[in-house]
Every structure is written in structure tokens, then in C-alpha cells.
Amino acid sequence: MIEVIFLMMLGNADVLVDLQIDIDEQTEKVAELETELEELLSDKIDKGSKMNVLFVEYSLWEKKHEAEESQAMATYYNAKAREVKDLWRDEYRDYKELEKHEEQLQHDLDTAKVLLEKMEGDYEKIEKANSNPDRYTNVSISLSKNCQIMIEYGLNTICPTYRELVELFDTTNPTASGHFVDMGYDVKRVGVMDRHWKFYETEDDFDLVMVDPDAPFQNKSILIEIQSNTFTTLSVIGNDNSRNFNQGSYTTWENFKQTENCKKIIVAPDIELITQAVEYATNNCNGEINILENTVVHNEPTPHNDRNWRESPALVYQNWLYNAIQNNKELRLGLD
């Protein structure tokens, strides 16, 4: 990673873009692992419920066997009890396999999260080392990687296409900043000149907005990145939300967030909000975002009477779990 930082300090903006792509991919990996783990835990719950049902059934057959005076019927009830017990053992073996898989998945998820956190930290360090102290006046508009993938593969999405965004916001000159080719599912910018932004420096009061920017221009502009879904944030600017909590409540904002230096703005896939974000960026991050809403959520404590502590949900669950374990112990004979 030191090598990456050194390259960035030499002005290799492509490395920063590549690292952002890696972060996006790692974020997707974390999300996939979280989904897989959630599904596995659901399977474990289903498996545990099935084991409990089998145990109840086994107990019924066993009681009938013990109470039956007829030798023939007692033999039949005993056979049924053994049959259900064998079924329970099969479920138990599957349950243990799920536990092993859960342990491996949890390890993979924890590792992926640590790696993502490190990558994001490296990105911030690189961006800071490569940052320009001057206020950026140019604006670039990019679709998030998720948006690009969904559009390319024809998936159901509310993301706008580059085709739509170019029509609405792009102010570049194709002679300097390249032209767009039709890819069928969307358009793509090609033929960009080196340091093409210099072409516009002779224009007075020209607002340069580039849709689908090349990496160097993206690094030298205020980047507006359009997300694939709506989102909620605890901090509109930067990552510090320590002052957001006050006396059992907190404030959330919807669908808009910017870095502290306004180098990057992320917005939901809403044309009205994107339009406001572009105007906000071209005005050097001054003004208001009208569509922005805030909600105060109060955290109410769970009502509980200390005098009835024996009926607390946590204790009831613990007692149920303890009894279930004790009841199933005899079925584990020969398995441990």
C-alpha cells in the first residue's frame, strides 16, 4: 500500500480510481457474505424447529410404548419411536454441518470487513496526500458501479443512464473532452484529450460539468456519484455524527451526503435531487438542498416491571432454551 501512496503522490490518479473500484467490489463482497450468513442462520432456526417437532413426536411414541400392555402394539410403538429418533439424528448431523459453515462464514465476513476498513482508510490517506488545497470549481457526474452493472445487464433499476444524464447536465465540448458512443444499453465517453479541462480556461464564468468523466478530471473536480438506491445517513457532511445524538434521540437525513471538503457528493437516483446537487456543486457547495428531510427518532426504553422479573422476555427465552437442551440430550447418545 505504501507503493500505491507513492504513486498517488506522483500524480497517478488512475490508482485512486482503481482503489475505489476495489472498495466497491469489497463492499459488495461484504454484503453478499452478510446475506449468506443471514440465510444460513434462518436455516439453522428452521432446522432447530424441526428437531424440536421430532423430539415431541418421539416422546409421544415413547410414552405410548411404555403405557401399552399389548406386546405387539408395544413393539410397534417402540419401532416408531426409534424411527423418529433416527430422523432426529439425521437433522442433528445437518445442524452441526450448518454450525461449521456458520463459523467459516463468520470468519470470512469478519476478514472481509477488516480488509474493507483498511482499504477505505488507505483511500482517505491517498486522497488527502493527493488533494488540491484550492476549491474545485468543475463538476463530474458518475454512476455507482452497482448502477452501471444493473443498466448493462438490463436489471430492474431506478438509476438514470448516462444517456439521460448527458442530455440533462453535460456541458463538455466533444473536441476536447471526447464524444459518446452508443453501447446499446447506454452510452460511453471515448476520445478524451489529455488535460482537456485546460480547453475551457479561456471561457469566462463557464460551468464545466462532465458526465462519465475520465479518471484525471474526476480527481480534479467535485464528484457527484449517483447511488443505486435511496439511503439514510446520520451525518450529512463527513463521518462525524457524535453530535447527532441528544437525550435519547437522533437525527437522520435522506439521500444526500458530502465529504467535509465537498470533494465528493453522493445522492440517491432521483433526477430532482441530482439537479439540486449539480447546482450546489457548481456554486462551490453553497446553498440548500430543498428535498433534504430530517427525522428525529426517539429511543423508548422497553417497558418492564422489575417486580415481574421472572416473566421478562429474556428470562423466558433462556428457560425455554435450557429446557430444550435438556430434553434433547438423550437423543444425542452415540453422537458426541
Cell of 146: 452497482
Question: Which residue in 184, 188, 181 sits closest to 211, CA to CA?
Answer: 188
Distance CA 230, CA 274 (A): 12
> CB under 8 Å to 211, separation ≥6 — which residues?
140, 141, 162, 165, 166, 169, 170, 172, 189
Mean pLDDT of the chain: 82
Greatest mean pLDDT among 120-129, 288-297, 323-332 lies in 120-129
Cell of 114: 477488516
Distance CA 30, CA 28 (A): 5
SS3 37: helix
Distance CA 15, CA 9 (A): 11
Angle at the Cα of 142 (from 218 to 119), degrees rounded to 5? 70
Checking if the pLDDT of 102 tops 70, the result is yes
H helices, E strands: number in the chain: 9, 11
Confidence bin at 48 (pLDDT 50/70/90) = confident
Distance CA 13, CA 214 (A): 10
3-42: burial string, b at 16+ Cβ within 10 Å, e else: ebeebbeeebbebbbebbeebeebbebbeebeeebeebee
pLDDT in tens, 181-211: 999 999 999 999 999 999 998 887 889 999 9
Confidence bin at 4 (pLDDT 50/70/90) = very low
Determine contact, residues 20/140, Cβ cutoff 8 Å: no
Determine contact, residues 61/68, Cβ cutoff 8 Å: no
Cell of 144: 455507482
Determine contact, residues 143/211, Cβ cutoff 8 Å: no
pLDDT in tens, 145-168: 999 999 999 999 999 999 999 999
Distance CA 145, CA 29 (A): 13
Q: pLDDT at position 152, please?
A: 95
Q: pLDDT at position 246, please?
A: 59
Q: pLDDT at position 7, please?
A: 42
Distance CA 278, CA 168 (A): 11
Q: pLDDT at position 133, please?
A: 42
Query: How many other CB atoms sit within 10 Å of the CB of residue 140?
Result: 23
- What does the chain come to in residues? 336
pLDDT in tens, 247-291: 556 778 889 999 988 899 999 999 999 999 999 999 888 888 876
- According to DSSP, the residues that pair with 46 across neighbouring strands are none
Confidence bin at 3 (pLDDT 50/70/90) = very low
Q: pLDDT at position 9, please?
A: 41
Determine contact, residues 17/51, Cβ cutoff 8 Å: no
Q: pLDDT at position 1, please?
A: 40
Query: How many other CB atoms sit within 10 Å of the CB of residue 103?
Result: 10
Q: pLDDT at position 319, please?
A: 73
Q: pLDDT at position 308, please?
A: 59
pLDDT in tens, 197-246: 999 988 878 899 999 999 999 988 999 999 999 988 888 887 765 555 55
- What are the structural domains, with CATH classification, of the chain? 2-129 (1.10.287), 139-298 (no CATH)
Checking if the pLDDT of 6 tops 60, the result is no
Read off the pTM. 0.51
The percent of residues in the chain predicted with pLDDT above 70, rounded, is: 78
Distance CA 211, CA 192 (A): 12
Q: pLDDT at position 135, please?
A: 47
More confident residue, 16 or 155: 155
Place of cell 445524538: 245
Q: pLDDT at position 245, please?
A: 58
> CB under 8 Å to 300, separation ≥6 — which residues?
none
Taking residues 28-43, what's their average pLDDT?
89
pLDDT in tens, 113-141: 888 888 888 877 777 666 544 445 799 99
